Amino acid sequence: MTQLAPLAWPAAWHYVAGAPSQTAKFKQHWQDFQVHEQLGFTPSGDGEHVYLDITKTDTNTDFLARQLAQHANVSYRQVTYSGLKDRHGITRQWFAVHLPGKVSLEPDWQQLASDKVCINQVIRHQKKLHTGTHKSNQFVVRLRDIKSTSDLEQRLQTIGKVGVPNYFGEQRFGNQGNNLNLAQRLLSGERFKDRFQQGIAMSAARSYLFNQLLSERIQQNNWLTAKPGDFYIPSDAYNPFKAPVDEAIQERIDNAEVAPTGWLAGNTGRGESSFPSALEADCLNEYRQWIEGLAELRLQADRRALRLLPIDWQWQWIDHHVLELRFGLLRGTYATSVLRELVHTCNPHQKHE
């Protein structure tokens, strides 16, 4: 079984333009990290599900979901949300409570309001809010105590034009990579009674494999080069397709219309795109036991774009040492992966040994 060194994993993945030379303090104040979840649709106004648009500060998503359940006197399972949002910031997101019946029977949601929770809107909808329902997230990020602007302008421009590697963020792997330890145990044959814990382990394992694959292609200088066996994804949709390796597809890559994809390990057989290319199989050869283990657990193979291109990328200097970034990201991608190509961040909320 392949052995991992979880404490070393963040530094192992390659940068496109080399490791940043600048450092910055991140999340020193709540307003330094702001997220606004975009549903991508408008709730209908009627139905069994009460949708709540909530802005929260220093509040865990799951904790607030449990508060909503208690306030509505329903089971925690009747409260859903599209995505987890970081506690350490100001985050606006949607929750839904399955509450069939007359509107007059609803609790007074404003009673939950506090200095940390603001109820912006309450509206009913006919469908449940599932995980991954939202379309995108809008971010406002402030980086502080930057000592020098050397090479930052070039990196800022490159990120806006070319994008960054679409790595899974550090949070996917848990504090100090602990989710990889779970993955190691799971893929060594241990079975977890807690299905949620097992899901975390499987997700961490194949996210790690994807990052390894992407890092290898960056090292080979072909992460944005069409290669035999590649599948591609349009920048504004999820629909993997195959194309001949020619000038036409390379031009679409260069114009950021499409991006090559990387294989997400799992059970193959659902179409050609579920199988790794020869290049991908070679890159992940030393992890064959992990790959076989994920397939045995019936996790379906998938594909993910190698490139992450921020939407409406903007920046401004608040003063000589504070940089503010504004951008959007499609769901399933990470702001930390964008910041990684720009500066080394010092986050007071990260735990280290």
Check which CATH number belongs to the domain holding 106 and give it: 3.30.2350.20
Report the pLDDT averaged over residues 227-246.
92
pLDDT value at residue 325:
99
In terms of phi and psi (left: phi > 0; alpha: psi -120 to 50; beta: otherwise), the region of 280 is alpha
Report how far residue 175's alpha carbon sits from residue 180's, in angstroms, rounded to the nearest whole number. Answer: 10
Q: Are residues 258 and 179 in the same domain?
A: yes
Q: What is the DSSP string of 60-108?
A: -HHHHHHHHHHHHT--GGGEEES----SSSEEEEEEEEE--S-GGGS--
Q: Are residues 261 and 218 in the same domain?
A: yes
Q: Are residues 293 and 175 in the same domain?
A: yes
Residue range of the domain that includes 264: 6-24+165-308
pLDDT value at residue 29:
94
Final residue before a domain boundary, out of 88, 114, 133: 133
- The answer as to whether 142 is a domain residue is no
Q: Are residues 208 and 261 in the same domain?
A: yes
> What's the one-letter identity of residue 198?
Q
Q: Are residues 296 and 169 in the same domain?
A: yes
pLDDT at 220 over 90: yes
Q: Are residues 125 and 208 in the same domain?
A: no
End-to-end CA distance of the chain: 26
Q: Which residues contact 292 (CB under 8 A, 6 or more apart)?
A: none
E strand residue ranges, the chain: 23-26, 33-38, 49-57, 79-81, 90-98, 117-125, 136-144, 164-165, 231-234, 241-242, 258-264, 302-305, 307-308, 311-319, 322-330, 344-346
Q: How confident is the model at residue 250 (pLDDT cuts 50, 70, 90)?
A: very high
Predicted TM-score (pTM) of this structure:
0.91
- From the list 86, 230, 246, 302, the catalytic residue is 86
CATH number of the CATH domain containing 271: 3.30.2340.10
Q: How confident is the model at residue 350 (pLDDT cuts 50, 70, 90)?
A: low
- The answer as to whether 324 is a domain residue is no
Give me the phi and psi of 133, to 5 degrees please.
-75, -35
pLDDT in tens, 85-112: 989 999 999 999 999 876 777 899 999 9
- The answer as to whether 76 is a domain residue is yes
- The answer as to whether 229 is a domain residue is yes
Q: Are residues 182 and 290 in the same domain?
A: yes
Q: How confident is the model at residue 353 (pLDDT cuts 50, 70, 90)?
A: very low
- The answer as to whether 52 is a domain residue is yes
- Between these two residues, 91 and 190, which has the higher pLDDT value? 91
What total number of domains does the chain contain?
Answer: 2
- The answer as to whether 10 is a domain residue is yes
Annotation marks residue 246 as catalytic: no
Q: Are residues 180 and 128 in the same domain?
A: no
Q: Are residues 301 and 260 in the same domain?
A: yes
pLDDT in tens, 126-150: 999 999 999 999 999 999 999 988 8
The answer to whether 25 and 143 are in contact (CB under 8 A) is yes
Report the pLDDT averaged over residues 246-257.
97
pLDDT value at residue 74:
94
Report the pLDDT averaged over residues 196-212.
93
The DSSP H or E segment spanning 9 is helix 9-12
pLDDT value at residue 12:
82
- The answer as to whether 154 is a domain residue is no
- The answer as to whether 112 is a domain residue is yes
